[in-house]
Structure 1
Amino acid sequence: MPGRFVIYFHYDPNGQADNACLFAMRAMRAECSGLLFVTNGRLNDASRAAVEALDVQLLERENTGFDVGAYRDALMLLKQQGLDGIDELILMNYTLAGPVTPLGALFDKMDARPELDFWGLTRHYAMKSRRFKTEYGEVPEHIQSHFIAVRGRLLHSQDFWSYWETMPLPQSYEQSVAGHEARFTRHFADLGYRWDTAAGTDDLKALFVNPVMACPRELLARRGCAFFKRRSFFTPYEDELRRTDGTAAAELYDWLKTETDYPVDDLIRSLLRTQPLAPMAQNLHWNAALPADGRGNDPESIPPVRLILWQPGQPTPEIHPGEILCLYAPPAQAPATPEDWYMQNGDRTLAEEETFRRAAGTVLAAHPLAGIAAPAAPAYGPAYGGRAGEWQRLLPVLRAEAARLGWKTPVAEQPLPLPWGRCVFLKGEAFPDGLPDLNGPAGWWLLPLAAQQAGYGCLTLYTHARAHATPEHLDCALSARQDAKETARDLARILRRRLRGKH
């Protein structure tokens, strides 16, 4: 459509417009007559140059009002410049990644629906919510605000401009969702404007309120969605398990790698620099099971693994690109608890037995996104409680040390996936500035953060025995969780009856 114009909203705490943003804008710019890039903050010099090279207009503003504030400032600027020739205005934001399929098909499909006054990419279905308090008493069914196309009848109406001119700027993410995203569709539908979404998901309505997060591969592969959410790769995993079976992100990644040309690894590396490591490792299932005999590969193809036996007080070893290093601190004393025994035994197996050590090195070398690997924590209850306590004690120290080193990666409340013992495998490329000081109070916990700063994740290693025990652990955990839910429901029913006086 010659008269199609895009406002692309962006935010990054480090002022970076990453490759995924540039990829999306390049594709959108090819399908529209103009694009206005609005960012909450200021771009760094490299990103500003990259954005300006795309033949787009740039608007940098103060980081206030979330997406609502950015869209409003961009719209007012566009109105001042003149709306002549704009027949369709797309409000889009950086939380979408893609496109993974040609955009021409998406726009051809929606151009064939001239009766629509506005349309979107995906929809969120109605739900009750204590978090998002809307004027409707619930979150109504709505077009998700990451992509909304507004056409002439609505775009050139006073209804549209009054909506933006009178809207208070949100002070929180919750206010932004309740006051704009969950309101926009219902507000204009109630005024008589017609709408629809490109991705048809009504058959999924009874299953998922948010299909683009619950089954992104389905929407991309079969429903013409073209874009997916960055958040698929770093959403809190416990939230995913309340809504889905937890496989959506890993299936999405595998599909993108095998069925499309989309540079998904570039996106993952960018996310690693700004998002907590633990949920990314969980969503993408960065785990590997080693073969029973530690081999599983042609010995000729197994890379050399340099073993370093390390004790506190020794200098931090050097590491070079192209090598795999196994850093192992043999225990100084006998295990004092069962969890110590399990942890030390797992470390010893991978470090001291050459076939297992080389197998672990092979797995790490072959994983394009992993810079560090270590044995899984033992699936033994007290070990998990102990590691959570250790993490909370070290959290202030880790944050202070990361700040001192100038690292931008977040040190989150959720513990890092590894290391819990004293055996780690390190990929040289993940430590361009060398290894951090292992003798400081933060110690080995700095290793995964250093790799993350360089754009690499972590890989949890399971021996053959531990990998085969995992389904039984899962079965017991899910059964206990279900029993706990039933008990909680029964207690809630009793409490409600007593509060009503029905003893």
Structure 2
Amino acid sequence: MRRLGVFVFYDPQGVVDDYVVFLLASMRKVCTEIVTVCNGFLTEEGHDRLSQWSETIFCRENTGMDAGALKDFFTNLRSREYWNTFDELVWFNDTCYGPLVPIDKVFEEMKQREPCDFWGITIHARSNAKWPGSKQPGIAEHLQSYFIVIRQPLLQDERFYLFWKDMKISDNFNLTVSNYELSLTKTFASWGYIYAAFCDTRKLDTNPDCGCNPTAYAMYRLVSQYHCPFVKRKNFIRTNAEATVSTNGEQVMRSMSYIRSHTTYDTALIYRNLMRLYDQELWKGNLCLNFTLPSEYSANDPTPPALILAELDHEDSIHELSESLCSLSESCDLNVITRRTELIPTIKKFFPSCNITVSSNRPQGLASLFLVLNQIETDKYKYFCILQEMWGNPSNGLHISESSIRFSMYGNLVAGPHFIRNVIHTFESEPLLGILNPPVFPQSRSAMVAHFNLKQAAKDYGIPLPQRLCDYEAFCQPSLWCRKEVVLAALEKLNDQTSPLDPGVLEHLLCYIALSSGYSCGEVKESRQAACLQESQQWLINGFYSGNIDL
């Protein structure tokens, strides 16, 4: 069996990530040759990585998306005599992660099924919904074009060549899908050729008026029940509005859990690609990196050492922290930093085993608290909790009392020894999790990100930003949990600065420091605090929809 692979690749930075290398290495097991058609440019390293698995690499102008690349291949880049010497041709692209299962088994199973002339991984059922830009009254049943196998004799049919030659190319996504993906199956079938799908997703779509993409709304069932070898990258960056069409937005979270526990695919390949290309605000919600943890109980197995660094400059803060942090777990130390020496007896009364540092002239902000860690033996600890006091800042724009803010902060970060152990266990079970923030007050986002030039600050501190940023930036709360690797990366950036630090700079940059270090950010809530927050959020939502509250 001689099988030709045609790989269509595009990256806005010309970078070839590890997930692409894994995909090509896997496909090489079933392909005699692989030709890569790159839309746009490649870095030198990217070209070298693709060359390991591709006999030929063509770089072309980025026009027409996948359809343009394939048209170029079939009509210009390679002669018909060349690709007609193969028994099969498979084209595939970089828009999916995988394979999650051995791809040779997929080809072997399709060989054993009823004969067909062309096949794909998934199939979109016929729908009454109208595709934007299409002249057809509905969406025709069609194989989804990210992975298509063409067999002889279709491959050498004159009409197959003419299909590509006559195809209209557009840089408009909807028109391209209409001219290419929606037309391909219908056209080939009209010539008498038989098609099939490895995952017959027509069975999943029970609503002919919906027109939803099965790779999105049935993602979990595809990987868990149909053993689909791929998951689409687009699912990870869908907006809330898109992710909750026909689902509760749980598909990516459930699928990732299944992939981790039932396949050997390294999900770090997915994270690394997402971190480089997309602002975390685009994918954090789909991955559900939000953890609600109990404070009443925890596992008994040992936890790595952790340090809590608490800023305490007022007696009220001391009392409020003591209510949450009534005792420490055995592997956790407490360091207190204060500007007021007269508070030392009170601090010692409530936290007798803590270490105290007096720093009278220390500036405000998370950055100055991080710099205190330069004076601490950080190598002893694997995790750090930074507690900024949040006092005397009437210009913070929040309509919430500072006492309530501290209650939420302490209660969601250091709610007793069991909770702290559960936080550490969460980090241990999520090796790519770098930061855990407490929940954001609904009223606070606009105030925290206003009047800050993220791109300029990232440039000044030498921090790479994702290729695609959100309309609203990711930011860290003034108090949080951090993995040591993120702390050290932040200290390296801060220690290199020669000019005075902007008091709020680290709150804006820490998330991107974590991303550039290979770690994601999540949110943590204590279970009782979560119930309280849910009530507040529901009140805001109800008020918004009733017109009584203007958000």
Q: Secondary structure at the match of 2:248?
A: coil
Residues 277-319 of structure 1 deviation map (CA, whole Å, 9 limit, x = unaligned): 12322111112223224x6244852522241637427745257
**Structural mapping, 1:259-298, within 5 Å:** 259-293=262-296, 296-298=298-300
Moved more, 318-327 or 423-432: 318-327
**Alignment correspondent of 1:424:** 480
Residues 418-438 of structure 1 deviation map (CA, whole Å, 9 limit, x = unaligned): 53x421222122356434556
Give the Cα–Cα distance (whole angstroms) in 1 for the partners of residues 197 and 25 of structure 2. Answer: 23
Contact 1:22–1:51 (CA under 8 A) maintained in structure 2: yes
**Structural mapping, 1:266-415, within 5 Å:** 266-293=269-296, 296-298=298-300, 300-307=302-309, 309=311, 311-312=363-364, 315=368, 317=371, 323-333=382-392, 337-338=399-400, 340-349=402-411, 355=417, 359-378=422-441, 384-388=442-446, 390-391=448-449, 393-394=450-451, 397-404=453-460, 405=462, 407-409=464-466, 410-415=468-473
Aligned residue pairs total 473
Residues 365-402 of structure 1 deviation map (CA, whole Å, 9 limit, x = unaligned): 54212111111124xxxxx24414654x346x113333
TM-score by length of structure 2 reads 0.77
Contact 1:270–1:455 (CA under 8 A) maintained in structure 2: no
**Structural mapping, 1:465-484, within 5 Å:** 465-469=528-532
Q: Secondary structure at the match of 1:243?
A: coil
TM-superposed CA distance for 1:34, in Å, is 1.0
Structure 2: 5+ residue stretches without partners: 312-361, 495-500
Contact 1:199–1:225 (CA under 8 A) maintained in structure 2: yes
Q: Secondary structure at the match of 1:220?
A: helix
Give the Cα–Cα distance (whole angstroms) in 2 for the partners of residues 311 and 327 of structure 1. Answer: 15
**Alignment correspondent of 1:79:** 79
Give the Cα–Cα distance (whole angstroms) in 2 for the partners of residues 168 and 51 of structure 1. Answer: 29
The one-letter code sitting in structure 2 at the alignment partner of 1:447 is L
Query: Given the superposition, is the C-alpha separation of residues 188 and 55 from structure 1 closer, same or farther in structure 2, using an over 3 Å criterion?
Result: closer
TM-superposed CA distance for 1:133, in Å, is 1.3
Structure 1: 5+ residue stretches without partners: 379-383, 485-503
TM-score by length of structure 1 reads 0.83
Give the Cα–Cα distance (whole angstroms) in 2 for the partners of residues 402 and 15 of structure 1. Answer: 21
TM-superposed CA distance for 1:262, in Å, is 0.7
The one-letter code sitting in structure 2 at the alignment partner of 1:29 is R
**Alignment correspondent of 2:12:** 13
- Larger Rg, first or second structure (1 or 2): 2
Give the Cα–Cα distance (whole angstroms) in 1 for the partners of residues 24 and 32 of structure 2. Answer: 12
**Alignment correspondent of 2:331:** none
Contact 1:303–1:358 (CA under 8 A) maintained in structure 2: no
TM-superposed CA distance for 1:35, in Å, is 0.9
Give the Cα–Cα distance (whole angstroms) in 1 for the partners of residues 68 and 364 of structure 2. Answer: 52
**Alignment correspondent of 1:460:** 523
| Percent of pairs with identical residues | 23
**Alignment correspondent of 1:233:** 236
Residues 307-343 of structure 1 deviation map (CA, whole Å, 9 limit, x = unaligned): 1637427745257676322233212327773365433
Residues 122-158 of structure 1 deviation map (CA, whole Å, 9 limit, x = unaligned): 0123445676211323332211110111222322122
Residues 3-36 of structure 1 deviation map (CA, whole Å, 9 limit, x = unaligned): 2211111111222221211111111111121111
Give the Cα–Cα distance (whole angstroms) in 2 for the partners of residues 358 and 266 of structure 1. Answer: 28
Query: Given the superposition, is the C-alpha separation of residues 442 and 170 from structure 1 closer, same or farther in structure 2, using an over 3 Å criterion?
Result: farther
Residues 426-462 of structure 1 deviation map (CA, whole Å, 9 limit, x = unaligned): 2122356434556266540211122112221112010
Contact 1:269–1:369 (CA under 8 A) maintained in structure 2: no
Contact 1:257–1:264 (CA under 8 A) maintained in structure 2: yes
**Alignment correspondent of 1:102:** 102
TM-superposed CA distance for 1:249, in Å, is 0.7
RMSD: 3.2
**Alignment correspondent of 1:253:** 256
Give the Cα–Cα distance (whole angstroms) in 2 for the partners of residues 124 and 480 of structure 1. Answer: 39
Which of 212, 217, 228 aligns to 1:214? It is 217
